[in-house]
A = this chain, B = another copy of it.
Amino acid sequence: MPQTPSTRWCPTPEQRMELENMYRNGLHSPDVSQIQLITTNLSCYGKIEGKNVFYWFQNHRARERQKLRKRLAKQLLGGAQDADQAMNLLSKLEAQGRDGVIGPASGFGISYGYDVHPCCRPLITLDLFPSKSTGLRDECSSSSKNSSCSTSTDL
């Protein structure tokens, strides 16, 4: 390697402070002209380019969000309230389901054997969607994990 001539931008404290202030003040996704303006103004503190600003905001958004999300996810593990108005539409569903062919009898409308087993295997890619995958991308990568689990998959 020749020089490794400072391959990546390193914000000065002033630059960082300004950026953080802007973010805190509500500027989370600056558009191009805003980025240009920011860049111009921050350049007096040191070398900086538009893409640096762009990346900074992108990374900051992502990391703030991930930080926040982790906290919420770990703390909020439960929370049920509010009656479900769902019943209304559910009737529609049930009606359809009745006409359906699959379930032996167990309509999925109400009640169920709910035991919170950590037992089953991922069924993510079960063959639920037959009409989608005509080779645009590698849709169902992996998959085929169809692990029983009471699947009366008699499709």
Name A residues whose Cβ lies closer than 8 Å to a Cβ of B. 1, 4, 6-10, 12-14, 17-18, 21-22, 25-55, 73-75, 77-87, 89-90, 92-94, 96-97, 99-120, 122-126, 128-129, 132-135, 139-143, 145, 149-153, 155
Contacts and interface: CB of A to CB of B under 8 A. Distances in A.
A86 B78 CA distance: 37
Contacts of A18: 122-124
A8 to B, nearest CB: 4
A8 B115 CA distance: 17
Candidate in A1, A104, A132 with the most chain B CB atoms within 10 angstroms: A132
Contacts of A149: 41, 44
Contacts of A1: 81
Contact of A41 (B100, B106, B123): B123
26 contacts: A4-B80, A8-B81, A8-B82, A9-B84, A18-B123, A18-B124, A26-B133, A26-B141, A26-B142, A27-B128, A32-B96, A33-B82, A35-B97, A36-B103, A37-B126, A37-B153, A41-B120, A43-B101, A43-B150, A44-B119, A45-B118, A46-B116, A50-B107, A51-B94, A53-B108, A54-B90
A85 B113 CA distance: 55
A108 B49 contact: yes
A37 B82 contact: no
Contacts of A151: 37, 40-41
Given A43-B102, A109-B49, A128 B36 contact: no
